[in-house]
Amino acid sequence: MATYAFVRGWLQIAFEQRTTAEKIIDRNRHPLYSGGWAFPSAPFNWTLYLFYGGDIRQPELPWLREQIAEMAAMPPIDDDGDRPTGLFLVTDEQGRADTWQIRNGALNERPAPDLSWLDE
H runs (alpha helix) in 28-118 = 61-72
- pLDDT confidence bin for 96, thresholds 50/70/90: very high
pTM, two decimals, is 0.92
112-115 contact pairs (CB < 8 A, 24+):
115/89, 115/91
Position 1 scores a pLDDT of 60
Topology classification of domain 4-119: Alpha-Beta Plaits (3.30.70)
What's the pLDDT tens digit per position in 31-80? 999 999 999 988 778 889 999 999 999 999 999 999 999 999 999 988 88
Q: Domain coordinates of the chain in residue numbers? A: 4-119
Percent of the chain scoring above 90 in pLDDT: 77
